[in-house]
Homo-oligomer: A and B are copies of this chain.
Amino acid sequence: MASRRARSLGSALTAPTAPTGLSFAGLEDLLGYKLRRAQGAVHRDYMVTVGEIRLTQKQTAVMWLVQGNAGVSQGEVGSALGMDRATMMALVDRLESRELLIRRRSATDARRRELHVTAAGERLMKQLRMRIAVHESRIKSLFNAAELRTLERLLTRFQSLDGAGDAEALD
């Protein structure tokens, strides 16, 4: 019921559809709704751009942090991304079953599981980073330099809603 961009990778994404003549009755005036819409559009573009690599934004965030912090514990990554332990478990299970990362028992604290990116994970991340660069330039190209600075500055301000707020969900 609508024409849209790159649906060519033929997967999973339902995009907003053509005009419906339906009244939004003020829904579009909510800042929360606008933010959702923006996030939804970006998320779709991300998934299309990532394509057959098939990593969600959240999985990407985990891989990214593990890659940048070899041996980090599940709990550390989880709390940095705002996930509880159970959520993190499920996510790491998936990444481990795809052999993109492994758990290793810590030598100094047997309760901890240190996370490491596998060789396959490194290769995939290398590909993925190129896709992400494409995605990032596309979404950033919607703004000029000054707008982009402003947008990033204003977006960051929402973090104060979280009190201390360290890091947040990528998904």
Contact = CB atoms under 8 A, between A and B. Distances in A.
Interface of A: 1-5, 14-20, 22-28, 30-46, 57, 61, 64-65, 67-69, 72, 76-77, 79-84, 87, 132, 135-136, 138-140, 142-143, 147-148, 150-152, 154-171
B161 A3 contact: no
A157 B169 contact: no
A25 B160 contact: no
Copies in the complex: 2
Q: Is the interface of A mostly helix, strand, loop or mixed?
A: helix
Given A22-B72, A37-B167, A38-B35, A61 B17 contact: no
A20 B72 CA distance: 11
A167 B65 contact: no
A139 B42 contact: no
Given A17-B167, A35-B35, 9 more contacts: A15-B163, A16-B164, A25-B69, A27-B68, A30-B136, A32-B57, A36-B169, A37-B159, A143-B154
Given A163-B5, A167-B37, A170-B33, A22 B136 contact: no
Given A37-B159, A158-B41, A166 B19 contact: yes
A159 to B, nearest CB: 6
A66 to B, nearest CB: 10
